[in-house]
Structures are given as C-alpha cells and as structure tokens.
C-alpha cells in the first residue's frame, strides 16, 4: 500500500493520463483558470500566455462578452439541428460576410471539417464542369488538419506516415513558388483549385512574397480554378487584418476559418463567393452539431468584440512592435536565421532544433511554442498590453540568447 502511494506521488502525472490515448506529448502542467493573457496552474503559479491555445483565445481567457454569450445562450437553447432555421447562424453568416466580402457560409465544429467542406466544394465544382478526376494543388510545409482528406492535403510526411492509403487528388508544389504552379497549369487539365495558407502556421510561420496571393488569384482567374485559402490560423484579425488575404486586396473563392472564431468554443466555417458559393445543394453536405445556437451565439460575441475593441488594428500595431523589437534584439545573432511574422503571428527561426525553449520559457512564467523543430512561434492574444508585450520580448530574448550561448 505504501509503495503504491509512493508510485502515485512520483508518477502522479502518468496515473492521471493513463486512460487518455497517447496522442500528445503533453507538457507537465495543468491550468486551472485564466483571465486576459494570464493563466494560473493548479499550484496557482501565474503564466503569461503567448500562444493563446494555438491562436484560439485571441480575446484572452474568460473574456466577459464571451462568457456572457455562452451563459445566456446555454440557459436559452443549446441545439436544434440543421433540420431547422438557426437564427444566430444566419446572423453570424451575415457578420462574417460583411467583414470578409464573401457570400455564403457553412458552419462546422473544427478547422479540419471546414477544410473538408472546401475540398468537397472543389471536387463538386470540378465534376459540374465535366472534370472526371479533379485535382487540388497544395503546398509543401502546409497543415490542413488530421482527418484523412486534410492530412492527405497536408505537406508534412510525419503527419501522413502510417495512415496510407492517402486520399488522392492532391498535387504538391513548394510554398511561395509560382513557376511550379505554372508548370502544372501547362500540363494538367484536371486541376480545379488551389488550397493554401496565406501564412503557413504549423510549417514555421512562413510568410510568402507580398504579391503571392495576388499572383495566385490571377492564375486561378485565367485557369478557371478556385482560390481556396486556409485562414484557420491567420483569420479573425490574427495578422492585423480581419483576414490575411486583405493585405493583398484580393477576394478568394473559398476561405476556411476555425481557431479564433469561437475564442475556445469549438466552431469552424467554410466561406465562399461566386460560383463556389452555389455548388452545394441540399443533401451534398451536412453536420449534426455544426453552427448550433450555442456555438454561433458565442462566435457572434467574438466578432462583435473584435470590432468593438478595435482589436484588428491593435493586432497590426502590437504585432509590428513585437517584430521590430525581436528583430532589433535577436536579428544580429549569427545563430538566428530569421525573425518574421505578420501581425500577431511571429516566428524566430534558429539554426538548430530548439524545443527545449518551450520548457525554459515555462520556467520563466511564459508560454510559447516551437514548430517545424527550429522556429519559436508566438501567437499572443490580440488583447495584450504594452507591459505584456515587453515581458514576452524580454523573456524570449533572454532564454534564446542563453540557449544559443550554452548549446554546442
Ligand atoms: C489548426 C489548423 C487546422 C486544423 O484545425 P482543427 O480545428 O485542429 O481541425 C487546419 N489548418 C490550419 C492552417 C490550422 O492552423
């Protein structure tokens, strides 16, 4: 018995997670509550959150407008299904179309499902044009989700390995490479769409050339292809515009959203305009939960709060400040390959793997992420103030410099 108790104390963490599938290499910390950009763990230690649940909690934790919307709607009506009209779904679609310039919305519960809808739209669009075997161009280094179709679209072998046979119908090109797409355009009659992230998130905060999306739009117009943007991470103000495509003054045919749309309440969306908005007919696609009254009332509160608190502009200004400061402090270090970003989506690429920095930062009370092995990724809530921005900069620079001077 005594031995058993000791085992629980020593391996308490493992005991706790024994009944969860081993899908994640989780950090040894459990959060109990949050407020704004702050989180507290179960020992009441305080952390500054510079990852925001992976670009989800853009309004910070426990935002009163979101909490209020959830509580009020939970006491009124949770779910009715899409057999019926859903008032908040219609209103949310109106608001999203207003800020995006798109025309129609399909609501899902996650990012991967929003991309599944986009992929189905592209295939149906192709078949309606008489293309027997429609192909979608996707990029190396991309991330589109973990369902079978979206992991097949994803440009990362680690995510696909072991899940073959993959879904066919995707043609892969390097990111930010227009010639590769032009070559496919010359040789293939089966392409119906391009699916691309305006800034690659999981792939390492890769920012393409300033006119990349503009050029993709022109190619798609010329070829009759759909331009489909995965804005699941970049959308909802993250990059300093409501949607990243608005930096380039173009309109895509399809845009997918999720992450920050519900500030932590699960909801995704597939937006479309033009021909792409007319493709789905009753029976072509659906979901039981997607767009239910609770999810859409919550997302509606998120959209209104982003507008009321002027957070898209704030993301642009504060993102610019973070990028400038990080470049000034780290840019001259020979082991720092690149400091880049767009709005509040920032990446610091080192010349070596740096997963250790996640733990170093946590020990200093800061939550960050490392992606693509070598890239420190910062995705702070859009609501951070100057002092919090400075704390992020100071801590990241300090731990990075120490890590680079110690490592061999
Ligand atoms: C997170 C993410 C997804 C997947 O979203 P889930 O909600 O995890 O299914 C897809 N695309 C991009 C760009 C993402 O960042």
The closest residue, in CA terms, to atom 11 on ligand 1 is 144
pLDDT at 381: 98
Question: How far is the C-alpha of 161 from the C-alpha of 250, rounded, in Å?
Answer: 36
Average pLDDT over residues 305-327: 98
Give the pLDDT band of residue 17 (cuts 50, 70, 90): low
Counting beta carbons within 10 angstroms of the beta carbon of residue 234, is it exposed (0 to 12), middle (13 to 18) or buried (19 or more)?
A: buried
Query: Which residues' Cβ are closer than 6 Å to ligand 1?
Result: 110-112, 115, 143-145, 197, 201-202, 230, 232-233, 258-259
pTM of the model: 0.96
Q: Which of 54, 232, 235, 371 to mutate to test the pocket of ligand 1 (most atoms within 8 A of CB)?
A: 232
Phi-psi category of residue 169: left, alpha or beta, with phi > 0 → left and psi -120 to 50 → alpha? left
Q: Is the pLDDT of residue 257 over 80?
A: yes
Q: 90-115: per-residue pLDDT in tens?
A: 999 999 999 999 999 999 999 999 99
Structural domains in the chain, sorted by start: 32-62+310-407 (3.90.1150.10), 77-308 (3.40.640.10)
Three-state secondary-structure class, residue 71: helix
Q: Is the pLDDT of residue 346 over 90?
A: yes
The closest residue, in CA terms, to atom 10 on ligand 1 is 144
Of 14 and 175, which is predicted with more confidence? 175
pLDDT at 3: 42
pLDDT at 18: 87
Three-state secondary-structure class, residue 349: strand
pLDDT at 4: 45
Q: Is 98 a catalytic residue?
A: no
pLDDT at 56: 98
Q: Which residues of 38-54 are buried (b: 16+ CB within 10 A; e: fewer)?
A: bbeeeeeeebbbbbbbe
């Amino acid at each position: 018995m005594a031995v058993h108790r000791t085992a629980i104390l020593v391996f308490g963490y493992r005991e706790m997670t024994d009944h969860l599938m081993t899908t994640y290499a989780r950090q040894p910390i459990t959060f109990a509550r949050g407020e704004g950009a702050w989180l507290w763990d179960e020992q009441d230690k305080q952390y500054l959150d510079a990852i925001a649940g992976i670009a989800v909690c853009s309004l910070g934790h426990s935002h009163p407008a979101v909490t209020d919307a959830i509580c009020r709607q939970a006491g009124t009506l949770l779910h009715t299904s899409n057999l019926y009209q859903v008032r908040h779904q219609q209103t949310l679609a109106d608001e999203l179309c207003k800020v995006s310039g798109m025309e129609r919305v399909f609501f899902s519960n996650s990012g991967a499902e929003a991309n599944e809808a986009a992929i189905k739209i592209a295939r149906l669009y192709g078949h309606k044009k008489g293309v027997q075997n429609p192909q979608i161009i996707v990029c190396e280094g991309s991330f589109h989700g973990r369902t079978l179709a979206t992991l097949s679209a994803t440009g990362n072998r680690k995510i696909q390995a072991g899940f073959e046979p993959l879904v066919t119908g995707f043609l892969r090109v390097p990111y930010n490479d227009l010639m590769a797409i032009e070559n496919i355009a010359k040789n293939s009659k089966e392409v119906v769409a391009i699916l691309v992230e305006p800034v690659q998130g999981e792939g390492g905060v890769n920012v393409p050339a300033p006119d990349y999306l503009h050029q993709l739009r022109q190619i798609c117009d010329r070829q009759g292809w759909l331009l489909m943007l995965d804005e699941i991470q970049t959308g909802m103000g993250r990059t300093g515009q409501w949607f990243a495509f608005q930096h380039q003054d173009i309109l895509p045919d399809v845009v997918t959203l999720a992450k920050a749309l519900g500030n932590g309440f699960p909801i995704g969306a597939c937006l479309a305009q033009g021909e792409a908005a007319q493709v789905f007919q009753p029976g072509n696609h659906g979901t039981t939960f997607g767009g239910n009254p609770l999810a859409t009332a919550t997302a509606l509160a998120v959209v209104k709060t982003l507008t009321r608190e002027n957070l898209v502009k704030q993301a642009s200004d504060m993102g610019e400040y973070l990028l400038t400061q990080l470049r000034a402090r780290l840019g001259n270090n020979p082991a720092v390959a690149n400091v880049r970003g767009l709005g509040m989506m920032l990446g610091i690429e080192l010349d070596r793997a740096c997963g250790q920095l996640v733990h170093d930062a946590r020990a200093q009370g800061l939550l960050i992420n490392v992606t693509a092995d070598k890239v420190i990724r910062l995705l702070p809530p859009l609501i951070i103030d100057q002092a919090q921005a400075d704390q992020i900069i100071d801590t990241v620079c300090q731990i990075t410099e120490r890590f680079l001077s110690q490592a061999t």
